[in-house]
Amino acid sequence: MWPPARRRSSCQLTHVCPGITAPPATTRHAHGHLRDATWPHVVDINEPWTYARGVGPSTVRQRTSTQAGQAVYSPLVLRIYDLYVLGFSCSLIWKCPAARLLRLYEEHVGRHHLDVGVGTGYYLKRARFRIGAPEITLFDLNPNSLEHAARRIAHYQPKTVEGDILEPNHLPRRYYDSISLNFLLHCLPDGGAGKWRLFDHLIPTLAEDGLVFGSTLLGRDLPLLRRQRLFMTVYNGKGIFSNQHDSPERLQAELQRRFQRVHIEQVGAGALFVASGPR
């Protein structure tokens, strides 16, 4: 069955998503939760769910309406992404080094982890996990990113879900111990109901003591360096970024509206955040 059900104190299935039929068989995973013995390689989530078999990592596809903020991630761009974005830009433009973001990642990844906006899978590839190998789900709107990241961390056998995080999702409920959102928020369009609704879509997927962590570049109410302002203007003009209205206060307010515990640290033009205890 997917989404898989979490095992808590007993061996019972504690949650089954509405509308999703029970699997023909389940196996008990070595680490104690139940998972599908017939996990499909490719699942097309255009309701009703249809199951098909394919090759490669398990993939779930979901119909989407929003495409903004992901179009730039072609296979070619992904090949130079680590060098240009995480090497050059993070350190020299944003003053928010990738090493700091990697540390945030290592500190907060839990046993069942969901990465949203996966890019190249850089952190997952490099992170040293305190808790041993996590069970990883990758979520992204762009199939190139999903494929690239999944290939890079194939040894963790990640599940991949193609979908728009600004839309409701079919991810497992009350399941993830940690959810990472790195350099995603500044790519999301802020029109309509606003980019911040992604938290409303993710909160139901969090396990009881789960947390959300991540980083974003802020485009407003920060004393930006001249080169930072220049790159923000160009990227916003091209639609790669949409962060003209993202201020430190806005980030804090949107997180505090939804979580009881919020920690934000400013590093250069970036803000690193950790939030837990959904309200």
Ligand X SMILES: C[S@@+](CC[C@H](N)C(=O)[O-])C[C@H]1O[C@@H](n2cnc3c(N)ncnc32)[C@H](O)[C@@H]1O
Residues that bind ligand X (CB under 6 A): 66, 69-70, 73, 86, 117-119, 122, 140-142, 145, 164-166, 182-184, 187-188
Q: Report the residue number, 69 or 268, with the smaller CB distance to ligand X.
A: 69
Report the relative pairing of strands 42-45 and 112-116 from DSSP bridges: unpaired
Q: Which amino acid is at 250?
A: R
Rounded (5°) CA angle 134-137-143: 140
Radius of gyration of the chain (CA): 18
CA distance 162 to 54: 15
Closest separation in Å from C-beta 51 to ligand X:
23
Closest separation in Å from C-beta 67 to ligand X:
8
Closest separation in Å from C-beta 93 to ligand X:
13
Return the DSSP state at 209.
Answer: E
Tally: H helices and E strands in the chain: 7, 12
Closest separation in Å from C-beta 66 to ligand X:
5
| Contacts of 230 by beta carbon, 8 Å cutoff, 6+ apart | none
The residue with its CB nearest to ligand X is: 119
Cβ count within 10 A of residue 39 = 16
CA distance 163 to 61: 6
Closest separation in Å from C-beta 225 to ligand X:
20
Q: Report the residue number, 5 or 181, with the smaller CB distance to ligand X.
A: 181
Q: Report the residue number, 224 or 272, with the smaller CB distance to ligand X.
A: 272
